[in-house]
Structure 1
Amino acid sequence: MSDNESVAPGLSRRTVTKAAAWAVPAIVFAAPVPAFAASSDVAVSITGSCAGSGPTGSFTFTSGPIPVGQEIVITLSHSGAGSFGSSVNFVASGMNPYTITGTGAAVSGVITVSFTLPTNGTGRVTATVSSGSGALVSGKLTGFVEKRRDGNSSNYNQCSAG
Structure 2
Amino acid sequence: MNISIIWAQAKHGVIGYNNSIPWYLPQDLIWFQKNTIYKPVIMGRKTFESIGKPLRNRINIILSKNKKINKNFDKCQFTDDPKKALNFVRTHKEIMIIGGKKIYEIFLPQASTLYITDINALIFGNVFFPHYDKKKWNLVFEKYFLQDYLNLYDVCFKIFKRKNEV
Same fold (TM over 0.5): no
Higher strand share: 1
Higher relative contact order (CA 8 A, sep 6+): 2
